[in-house]
Structure 1
Amino acid sequence: MRGNKHMNEQFVNETNGKPRILIVDNNSNFARRARLLLDQSGRYVACTVINPRRALESARNFKPNLVFAELIMPQMDGPEVAAQFHADWALHGVPIVFLTSLITAEEAKDGRSVYGHRILPKPTRSSRLFELVQQNLPCCAEA
């Protein structure tokens, strides 16, 4: 529940038109690091959800422009989270990038995807995180 309280406080903050990025990852250290990188850039507002079973409810409130979701989690995996988003009328168009430690950065460079979603290997360089944000945000992606 601690993750929900933190997220609800974040909803109250004005985003000033900045893109909102939701990070769904049961690894709280990675999620916190990614959120801090994105928030401290000044270009995005990021929010974390540690329990993937709360991802849909959290996303309905946060209204993300982009989601990073861990591919394999104990309670619910990334593809299950993505399926819930795709079935929800308000979230079905939100881009989702899967996070995983199962592939290397080299393997990810060839454009591998899972169920049509890009993959970001963990751990990752902050430059690669920002690159995937730019490529996958609807407002920033190149046509």
Structure 2
Amino acid sequence: MRINDMNEQFTQEPNERPRILIVDNNSKFARSARLLLDQSGNYIACTVIDPRRALETARSFKPDLVLVDLIMPQEDGPEVAAQLEADWALHGVPIVFFTSLITAEEAKDGRRVYGHRILPKPASNSELFELVEQNLPCCTEA
């Protein structure tokens, strides 16, 4: 697929469901999270398995929220986050890290990595939905 085709594919319509980009080299986890979010009917989710493609995909997909695995072999989560934050079109899009290095209790006490929230991995469906709602700009402004 050419980049122009991707741009047309991901053109966002007004009042469209929030878009969530999932960046994780664990394809099973990424697919499961995408299916869960898509099947809820409330979100449009997209996965990136190779973190080196995260910036390119984010530019085309135009996410409202990015979920990034903290530790990946090619590029780690903070590297991906720095690239997204440095891009003028993506700066300000909320980023949440997920990792198996912390427990749910540790995540609840407000711990952050480079200023970003953390979701323990694996997370329950309700924890994932709660975190998404808490970090989507459309849901936090009011």
**What SS is found at the alignment partner of 1:67?**
strand
**What is the aligned partner in structure 1 of residue 127 from structure 2?**
128
Secondary structure of 2:137's counterpart equals: coil
Quote the residue 1:40 is aligned against: 39
Q: Which AA in structure 1 matches 2:63?
A: P
- Indicate the SS of the match to 2:68: strand
Asked if structure 2 preserves the Cα contact closer than 8 Å seen for 1:135 and 1:142, the reply is no
Name the structure 2 match of 1:11. 9
Aligned-residue identity in percent: 76
Unaligned runs of 5+ in 2: none
1:51-91 C-alpha deviation (Å, 9 max, x unpaired)? 00000000000000000000000000000001001110000
Partner of 2:55: 56
For 1:21-71, what per-residue CA distance to the aligned partner results, in whole angstroms no more than 9, with x for missing partners? 000000000000000000000000000000000000000000000000000
In structure 2, give the amino acid aligned to 1:129.
L
SS in 2 for 1:139: helix
Matched positions, count: 139
Query: For residues 1-143 of structure 1, what are the structure 2 equivalents within 5 Å?
Result: 8=6, 11=9, 17-141=16-140
Q: Aligned partners of 1:116, 1:47: CA distance in 2, in Å?
A: 24
Compute the displacement of 1:14 (Å).
Answer: 6.9
The structure-2 alpha-carbon separation of the partners of 1:9 and 1:91, relative to structure 1 and needing over 3 Å to count, comes to closer
Mapped to 2, the partners of 1:117 and 1:61 lie a distance apart of: 23
RMSD of equivalent CA atoms: 2.2
Q: Runs of 5+ in structure 1 lacking a partner? A: none
Q: Return the alpha-carbon distance in structure 2 between the equivalents of residues 9 and 25 of structure 1.
A: 22
1:99 match: secondary structure: strand
- Partner AA of 2:88 in structure 1: W
Question: TM-score of the superposition, structure 2-length normalised?
Answer: 0.91
Once the 2 structures are TM-superposed, how far is the Cα of residue 11 of structure 1 from its aligned partner?
A: 3.1
Shift of 1:13: 8.3
